[in-house]
């Protein structure tokens, strides 16, 4: 993973998103199009209210939401995990010039999973020229990105939150040209970068880096809404493994001195023998709590280690995941 490139890319795309969302907000609030004056009139009124109260916070929130969605779509592109078998932001064929979903739409081969989340007649009319447009391909592609997010809401609702009208209306129009906010996701993040899931955590860390520096430089009290920029930091996987192996793993080894769990724990550090420790007889008695859960990195690795513990204790593989989720893991967060 080229973290040096990501460290440059993420803050730059944050600034680009802020600018693009701000421009789109001005367009929406001007309410010149028929849709903004009629269909989306209540949403435009709500955006006007939010912008009046705190325009910067609105832009920050919407920009971060789309950064998360673009990151997830790029990662799924690279791993080939889209159920509809088309890349959304990038291309499968390196000689192609348009993202897979746009090419498939032009060829009349858009999968039904995405068709049901679009206005298929409108897309067809835009591409055939029945609906006048200065940039029909850009309009079609924007709708396809929105359709992909709607599709994933049913599968990953915590990441792809339901598209409310404000978030949808403020998605920038230009998602295709070299100047678009999506270009960096195509050119600065490679498929090789996405081979490691940690790319998502590093992108978040670098995305908030400028905001973190701003908050840290303040001489006055930090507003509550700015505290996460300083406290919500990405923990690399080796640190997660070190912490979990030397807490959860150690507890199991203390209770089962003959355990072979050590073979699964490269970051485990042998310590002096202990006589005072929590006594457990089965894995179901173990409780793991992360009091600042964030994205759940600690708990996901604890799940992996607990799975090995349950297996060693003789539990059937089919029942282990449910037992871990019901008995062992708890996370607390804002």
232-162-65-235 Cα dihedral, nearest 10 degrees:
30
Output phi, psi for 201, to 5 deg.
-65, -40
CA distance 300 to 202: 17
DSSP state of 326: I
Q: What do you get for the CA distance between the two ends of the chain, in Å?
A: 30
CA distance 59 to 170: 9
Q: Domain locations in the chain?
A: 3-231, 237-331
Q: By the 8 A CB rule, do 190 and 181 touch? A: no
Helix (H, G, I), strand (E, B) or coil at 283: helix
CA distance 81 to 83: 6
Task: Give the pLDDT confidence score for residue 231 in this predicted structure.
Answer: 57
- Both tokens of residue 174? 């230009």
Helix (H, G, I), strand (E, B) or coil at 208: coil
Output phi, psi for 269, to 5 deg.
-115, 120
Stated as kind and residue range, the H or E segment containing 194 is: none
pTM: 0.76
Helix (H, G, I), strand (E, B) or coil at 213: helix
Most distant CA pair in the chain, distance: 80
Helix and strand element counts for the chain (H, E): 16, 2
Find where tokens 């090995």 sit.
308
* Nearest in space to 205 (alpha carbons), one of 67, 329, 74: 67
CA distance 123 to 137: 9
Instruction: Tell me the β-bridge partners of 330.
Output: 289
Helix (H, G, I), strand (E, B) or coil at 241: helix
Task: Give the pLDDT confidence score for residue 225 in this predicted structure.
Answer: 67
Q: By the 8 A CB rule, do 160 and 149 touch? A: yes
Instruction: Tell me the β-bridge partners of 289.
Output: 330
Query: What is the full per-residue pLDDT of the chain (334 aa) written as tens digits?
Result: 678 888 899 899 999 999 999 999 998 888 777 777 777 788 888 888 999 999 998 999 899 999 999 999 999 999 999 999 999 999 999 888 899 999 999 898 999 999 999 888 888 888 888 888 888 999 999 999 999 999 999 888 877 877 766 778 899 989 999 999 999 999 999 999 998 888 888 888 888 776 666 666 676 776 666 666 555 666 778 888 999 999 999 999 999 988 999 998 999 998 888 778 889 999 999 999 988 777 678 888 899 999 999 999 999 999 999 999 998 998 886 5
DSSP strands (E only) in the chain = 288-290, 329-331
């Amino acid at each position: 993973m080229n973290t040096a490139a990501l460290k440059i890319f993420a803050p730059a795309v944050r600034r680009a998103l802020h600018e693009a969302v701000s421009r789109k907000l001005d367009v929406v609030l001007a309410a010149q199009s028929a849709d903004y004056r009629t269909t989306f009139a209540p949403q435009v009124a709500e955006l006007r209210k939010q912008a009046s109260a705190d325009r910067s916070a609105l832009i920050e929130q919407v920009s971060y939401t789309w950064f998360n969605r673009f990151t997830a779509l790029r990662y799924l592109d690279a791993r080939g995990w889209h159920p509809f078998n088309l890349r959304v932001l990038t291309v499968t064929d390196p000689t192609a010039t348009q993202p897979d979903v746009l090419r498939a739409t032009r060829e009349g081969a858009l999968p039904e999973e995405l068709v049901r989340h679009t206005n298929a007649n409108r897309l067809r009319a835009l591409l055939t020229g029945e609906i006048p447009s200065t940039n029909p391909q850009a309009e079609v592609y924007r709708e396809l990105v929105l359709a992909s997010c709607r599709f994933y809401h049913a599968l990953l609702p915590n990441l792809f939150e339901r598209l409310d009208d404000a978030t949808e209306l403020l998605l920038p129009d230009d998602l295709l040209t070299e100047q678009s906010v999506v270009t960096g996701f195509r050119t600065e993040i490679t498929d090789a970068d996405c081979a490691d899931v940690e790319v998502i955590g590093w992108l978040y860390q670098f995305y908030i880096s400028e905001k973190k520096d701003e908050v840290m430089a303040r001489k006055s009290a930090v507003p509550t809404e700015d505290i996460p920029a300083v406290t919500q930091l990405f923990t690399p996987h080796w640190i997660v493994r070190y912490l979990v192996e030397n807490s959860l793993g150690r507890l199991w080894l203390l209770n089962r001195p003959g355990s072979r769990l050590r073979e699964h724990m490269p970051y485990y550090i042998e310590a002096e023998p202990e006589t005072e420790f929590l006594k457990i007889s089965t894995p179901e008695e173990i409780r793991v709590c992360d009091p600042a859960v964030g994205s759940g990195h600690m708990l996901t690795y604890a799940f992996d280690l607990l799975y090995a513990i349950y297996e060693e204790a003789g539990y059937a593989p089919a029942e282990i995941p449910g037992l871990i989720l019901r008995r062992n893991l708890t996370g607390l967060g804002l």
